[in-house]
Amino acid sequence: DGGITQSPKYLFRKEGQNVTLSCEQNLNHDAMYWYRQDPGQGLRLIYYSQIVNDFQKGDIAEGYSVSREKKESFPLTVTSAQKNPTAFYLCASSTWGQTSGRSWGEQFFGPGTRLTVL
Amino acid sequence: RKEVEQDPGPFNVPEGATVAFNCTYSNSASQSFFWYRQDCRKEPKLLMSVYSSGNEDGRFTAQLNRASQYISLLIRDSKLSDSATYLCVVNNGNKLVFGAGTILRVKS
């Protein structure tokens, strides 16, 4: 089955620790994204990547880092510099480029990781 | 002003009712529009894309009014399983912008 997987589903972290969230997709999508969702708010874009070995900051990149060494994988590291990291983190993927005709549309989401800082 | 605004609800409706949600967006250059559905503590899933003046998929109808910069979602014959949060999403050319969502509760 094609899809996006995220792990772990729940994650607890002590203040001052870095933690890495996993995101893998087998949809052969070029683009991948990381969002954060807080209660009562819309999804906010953290980072996105259009192609392997390249990524761009989204609206709230401070305190986060990513890598894109493989097309299928886009891990997100929440660093100790992130002031309020407790949230629901969602990874998504989509096609990208002229052939898709909808470069920023129709994103497919993974099941998410709930991060709680203790 | 938020880029995408939705009435948070909740909308509490009986089974079989027709319910409509509105969404306004601020960027007049926005190119495409979507409605996503999000169940409690789950990921959003695409419900409908709205690329022209509107489209229909079974009990769901999405309308776009570019002049007034709003999108609507109409659900006819509501089912219990329609209970969820409905996210209005706008593609403004370089990113997707998500509304905070409208909560729908369908009751028997």
pLDDT in tens, A37-74: 998 888 999 999 989 999 999 999 999 999 999 999 99
| Residue of A32, A106, A116 for testing the chain B interface, max B β-carbons within 10 Å | A106
Amino acid at site B105: R
pLDDT in tens, B18-59: 999 999 999 988 888 999 999 999 999 999 988 677 889 999
Q: Which residues of A touch B98 (CB under 8 A)?
A: 35, 42-44
Tokens of A2: 């094609």
Q: Which residues of A touch B44 (CB under 8 A)?
A: 43, 90, 109
Give the list of residues 6+ apart from residue A82 with CB closer than 8 angstroms, or none. A62, A63, A64
Give me chain B's average pLDDT, please: 92
B92 Cα to chain A: minimum distance (Å)? 9
Give the list of residues 6+ apart from residue A99 with CB closer than 8 angstroms, or none. none
Is some CB atom of chain A closer than 8 A to the CB atom of B98? yes
Residue B80: strand, helix, or coil: helix
What residue in B sits closest to A87 (Cα-Cα)?
A: B41
Which pLDDT score, from 0 to 100, does residue A105 have? 65
Angstrom distance (rounded) from CA A30 to CA B7: 34
Which pLDDT score, from 0 to 100, does residue A96 have? 63
Residue A30 vs residue B92, higher pLDDT: A30
pLDDT in tens, A74-116: 999 999 889 899 999 999 998 765 444 444 567 899 999 999 9
Tokens of B14: 């009986």
